[in-house]
Chain A
Amino acid sequence: DAKTTQPTSMDCAEGRAANLPCNHSTISGNEYVYWYRQIHSQGPQYIIHGLKNNETNEMASLIITEDRKSSTLILPHATLRDTAVYYCIVKSGGSNYKLTFGKGTLLTVNP
């Protein structure tokens, strides 16, 4: 699975959009980009995933660059409850479903 690089921490003002970047320059053609987040002392929560096209759901949007070497998770209107560690994980399809969590980005949403 391709390695990912994320900033250690970011801050965002409540109500503003939070844009969390992820670099995955060694991603291969069959690998998906997944985003999870973990609020303090809770289990991780699935947010979104994508392969090539941009994706949007009720939680967030995922923008993947045309060369697929990086992506951005967008929380359109961040709230205090969005304060969490956000993990970007690149994973191929197939039958190996193990997820490898890196250090992620601690997003702090400030009032």
Chain B
Amino acid sequence: GAVVSQHPSRVICKSGTSVKIECRSLDFQATTMFWYRQFPKKSLMLMATSNEGSKATYEQGVEKDKFLINHASLTLSTLTVTSAHPEDSSFYICSARPRDRVVNEQFFGPGTRLTVL
């Protein structure tokens, strides 16, 4: 149980285009999902917290108009990188927190590797 999927696993796009990444909790409901970014040889950096039915909360320094987050259901959150540029190339990872858990146990997706040419 507690599986989180991401789609696509890899994407290559041209500079200036937009890319949508999906994060799904497959066998549980998640009121809260998180989006992280990880550059090579670096640790995960939290970008934003996504709550079902409400606006996402972005970390300091993350442009909300560039990284659009939608959490329309208890099992799906999407991250859209708008007008992507080469510096947005990174490994994007989501996590989901089951709604019925008391402690802070999160389950992570396998990640999406974005390459912007």
Interface of B is mostly: strand
| Contact bitstring B81-113, A, C-beta under 8 A = 1, else 0 | 000000000010111010000111111111101
Contact residues on B (Cβ < 8 Å of other chain), bracket: 20 to 34
Q: Binary interface profile of A, 28-42, with partner B (CB < 8 Å = 1, else 0)?
A: 000010101010011
Interface residues of A in 73-104 (CB under 8 A from B): 87, 91, 93, 97-104
Dominant secondary structure at the A interface: loop
Chain A residues with a Cβ under 8 A of chain B: 32, 34, 36, 38, 41-46, 49, 87, 91, 93, 97-104
Known pairs A44-B95, A103-B43 / 15 extra A-B pairs, C-beta < 8 Å: A34-B104, A36-B108, A42-B110, A42-B111, A43-B111, A44-B44, A49-B103, A91-B104, A97-B49, A97-B97, A98-B49, A99-B95, A99-B104, A101-B36, A101-B43
